[in-house]
């Protein structure tokens, strides 16, 4: 069987068509890759633009923080000790001890080594561990001096071991010794050392922006300048870490506790009956009854005054509960 003859022109046309289709497919494949690359570049550009917008949005807040910090910088230099004062730290703490009456037995620096993170910070921590002896009010006086010092100091830890009863025994002057507790403190401060970070950035319209932030600057300044409490001493209060009972009487030292209690109880009954006679004399309207009551009242009052004078000559009471009861139930009636 014979196939029909194919014209040469048709054959050429077919070959050219196939080549064109292949070239067009190749071109489309290349264009598709170029479009994908363009889309990826566009996405990256949009992400970069979003990040730039975020950074621009943060600029106002960062600029605000810079202005506030610059305005507080001088105040922080006044509050935080400088390098020279840190070298005199021990002398300052010793002066506090002398003024408050405590006795320092140990004073040593803490481990103030700075790690890599701290080395990059603007503040260098400096601390000392102190051990001293004193009563509660001397401790409060020492803490008050720390708080009121012109340079910032803080008490990081405090440990107190209360005085024992034997610590209150009478001394050579025949007076009970003041109980002194053993106290351990850690006092810390910071040296302000701003890290060198090149030339300060100039803020456009600094004075105008500073004036707009005056309220915030004043608020932050007030937080740094706290009002210190002025400690006024014991003011009649007792040391809460001291046993309210006096130590047991030693040979030749005061009267037994049982005797002191009996004296107070007897005087309390006499004071109560004397006060009752006095109140009846004031409320009655009968002259005869007044004379009758007065006959009993005057001897009772004289007896009560005699007992008070006797206790004054004897040196009063050494047992604290008896002393308090005498004041409340006898002297104040």
Which span out of 69-73, 276-280, 284-288 was modeled with the highest average pLDDT?
A: 276-280
248 pLDDT tier (thresholds 50, 70, 90): very low
Residue 7: other Cβ atoms inside 10 A: 9
Tell which phi-psi region holds residue 298, choosing left (phi > 0), alpha (psi between -120 and 50) or beta.
Answer: alpha
19 pLDDT tier (thresholds 50, 70, 90): low
| φ/ψ (deg, to 5) at 131 | -125, 125
| Whole-number pLDDT of residue 109 | 86
Question: In angstroms, how far is CA 44 from the centroid of its own chain?
Answer: 51
Asked if residue 282 has pLDDT above 60, the reply is yes
Distance between CA atoms of residues 68 and 193, nearest Å: 18
pTM: 0.50
Mean pLDDT of all residues belonging to the chain: 75
Distance between CA atoms of residues 331 and 311, nearest Å: 12
Q: Record the tokens describing residue 265, joined without a space.
A: 């109880």
Distance between CA atoms of residues 224 and 79, nearest Å: 8
Helix or strand holding residue 105 (H, E): strand 103-109
Query: Domain ranges in the chain?
Result: 83-168+176-191, 257-331
In this predicted model, what pLDDT tens digit does every residue of 168-198 receive, in sequence order? 555 444 455 677 899 999 998 887 766 665 5
| Whole-number pLDDT of residue 198 | 54
Distance between CA atoms of residues 86 and 107, nearest Å: 14
In this predicted model, what pLDDT tens digit does every residue of 195-216 receive, in sequence order? 665 566 676 777 777 777 778 7
Asked if residue 159 has pLDDT above 80, the reply is yes
Torsion, Cα 218 224 225 226, to 10 degrees, reads 120
| Whole-number pLDDT of residue 193 | 67
In this predicted model, what pLDDT tens digit does every residue of 292-319 receive, in sequence order? 888 888 888 888 888 888 888 877 887 7
Distance between CA atoms of residues 294 and 273, nearest Å: 13
| φ/ψ (deg, to 5) at 261 | -65, -40
Which residue(s) pair with 125 in the sheet?
A: 190
Which residue(s) pair with 127 in the sheet?
A: 188
Distances (CA, A) of 114 to 89, 111, 187: 19, 9, 17
CATH of domain 83-168+176-191: 3.30.70.60
DSSP state of 198: S
Please give the share of the chain, as a percent, with pLDDT higher than 90: 9
In this predicted model, what pLDDT tens digit does every residue of 36-58 receive, in sequence order? 776 777 777 777 766 756 665 55
Taking residues 115-135, what's their average pLDDT?
Answer: 75
Q: Token pair 């080594």 is at which residue?
A: 113
């Amino acid at each position: 069987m014979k196939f029909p003859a194919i014209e040469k022109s048709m054959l050429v046309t077919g070959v050219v068509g196939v080549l064109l289709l292949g070239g067009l497919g190749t071109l489309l494949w290349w264009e598709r890759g170029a479009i994908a690359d363009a889309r990826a570049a566009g996405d990256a550009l949009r992400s970069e633009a979003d990040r730039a917008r975020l950074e621009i949005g943060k600029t106002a807040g960062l600029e605000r923080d810079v202005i506030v910090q610059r305005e507080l910088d001088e105040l922080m230099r006044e509050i935080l000790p400088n390098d020279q004062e840190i070298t005199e730290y021990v002398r300052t703490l010793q002066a506090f001890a002398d003024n408050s009456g405590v006795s320092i037995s140990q004073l040593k620096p803490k481990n103030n080594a700075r790690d890599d993170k701290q080395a990059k910070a603007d503040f260098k921590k400096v601390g000392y561990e102190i051990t001293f002896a004193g009563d509660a009010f001397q401790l409060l006086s020492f803490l008050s001096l720390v708080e009121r010092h012109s340079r910032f100091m803080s008490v990081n830890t405090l440990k107190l071991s209360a005085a024992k009863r034997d610590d209150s025994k009478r001394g050579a002057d025949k007076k009970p010794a003041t109980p002194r507790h053993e106290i351990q403190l850690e006092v810390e401060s910071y040296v302000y050392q701003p890290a060198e970070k090149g030339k300060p950035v100039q803020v456009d319209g600094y004075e105008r922006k500073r004036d707009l932030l005056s309220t915030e600057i004043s608020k932050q300044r007030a937080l740094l300048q706290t009002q210190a409490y002025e400690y006024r001493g014991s003011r009649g209060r007792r040391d809460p870490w001291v046993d309210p009972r006096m130590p047991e009487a030693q040979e030749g030292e005061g009267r037994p506790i049982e005797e002191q209690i009996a004296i107070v109880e007897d005087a309390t009954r006499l004071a109560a009956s004397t006060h009752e006679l006095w109140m009846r004399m004031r409320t009655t309207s009968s002259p005869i009854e007044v004379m009758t009551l007065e006959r009993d009242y005057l001897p009772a009052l004289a007896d009560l005054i005699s007992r008070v004078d006797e206790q004054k000559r004897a040196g009063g009471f050494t047992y604290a509960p008896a002393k308090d009861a005498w004041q409340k139930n006898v002297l104040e009636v």
